[in-house]
């Protein structure tokens, strides 16, 4: 399902829509029906939200649906500890020069961030 949901396509409802800035409206249909963690993509990565109810993460966000057996709320709190400024921003013009501006990422870059390994109980 496409995450783009312009205001003109929204149908009044009670499903929260989360953008990179947080709650940005409501819709009649959920894209995600389980707890999820939502973060911004451009300049707002690290601006994280834990959403327990069905929701619609907007295309300005990255979101987690599969927590690989971990407690979703724990992943939300662990994500708060990631220093996204430690991952250099790369522009198309200059992939060899590290940038120290606001963090920016996409699914490919996010997958390179080290995964947390939790001790088994």
| CA distances from residue 72 to 2, 30, 67 in whole angstroms, order as listed | 23, 18, 6
Residue 18 has a CB neighbour count (10 Å cut-off) of 23
CA–CA gap between residue 121 and residue 111 (Å, rounded):
26
Question: Is the pLDDT confidence value at 57 over 70?
Answer: yes
pLDDT at position 25 is: 95
Check pLDDT > 90 for residue 4. no
- Helix (H) or strand (E) holding 38, with range, is strand 36-40
Average pLDDT over residues 61-71: 87
Which pLDDT score, from 0 to 100, does residue 99 have? Answer: 46
Query: Measured between alpha carbons, how far is residue 14 from residues 48, 92, 105, 114 in Å?
Result: 21, 40, 30, 35
Q: What local confidence, expressed as pLDDT, does residue 119 receive?
A: 55
Q: Which of 58, 61, 53 is nearest to 105 (CA)?
A: 61
Say which residues have a Cβ less than 8 Å from residue 88's Cβ, sequence separation at least 6. Answer: 98, 99, 100
Q: Is the pTM of this model over 0.85?
A: no
Q: What is the pLDDT of residue 67?
A: 87
Which residue's structure tokens are 């783009």? 4
Count other C-beta atoms under 10 Å from residue 80's C-beta.
8
From 25-34, 57-66, 72-81, 82-91, the region with the lowest mean pLDDT: 82-91
The string of pLDDT tens digits covering residues 67-121 is 888 899 998 998 888 877 776 655 555 444 444 455 555 555 555 554 555 555 5
Question: Does residue 9 contact residue 26 with C-beta atoms inside 8 Å?
Answer: no
pLDDT in the model for residue 11: 95
Percent of the chain whose pLDDT exceeds 70:
69
Residue in this structure with the two tokens 């409802």, named with its chain if needed: 13
Pick the CATH number of 1-83 from 3.90.220.20, 2.60.40.730, 3.40.50.1110, 1.10.3720.10: 3.90.220.20
């Amino acid at each position: 399902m496409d995450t783009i949901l312009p205001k003109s396509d929204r149908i009044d409802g009670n499903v929260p829509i989360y953008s990179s800035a947080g709650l940005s409206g409501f819709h009649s249909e959920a894209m995600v029906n389980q707890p999820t963690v939502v973060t911004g993509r451009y300049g707002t990565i690290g601006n994280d939200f834990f959403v327990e109810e069905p929701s619609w993460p907007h295309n300005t966000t990255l979101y987690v649906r599969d927590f690989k057996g971990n407690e979703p709320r724990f992943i939300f709190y662990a994500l708060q500890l990631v220093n996204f400024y430690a991952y250099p921003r790369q522009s198309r013009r200059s992939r060899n020069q590290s940038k120290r501006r606001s963090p920016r990422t996409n699914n490919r870059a996010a997958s390179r961030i080290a995964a947390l390994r939790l001790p088994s109980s």
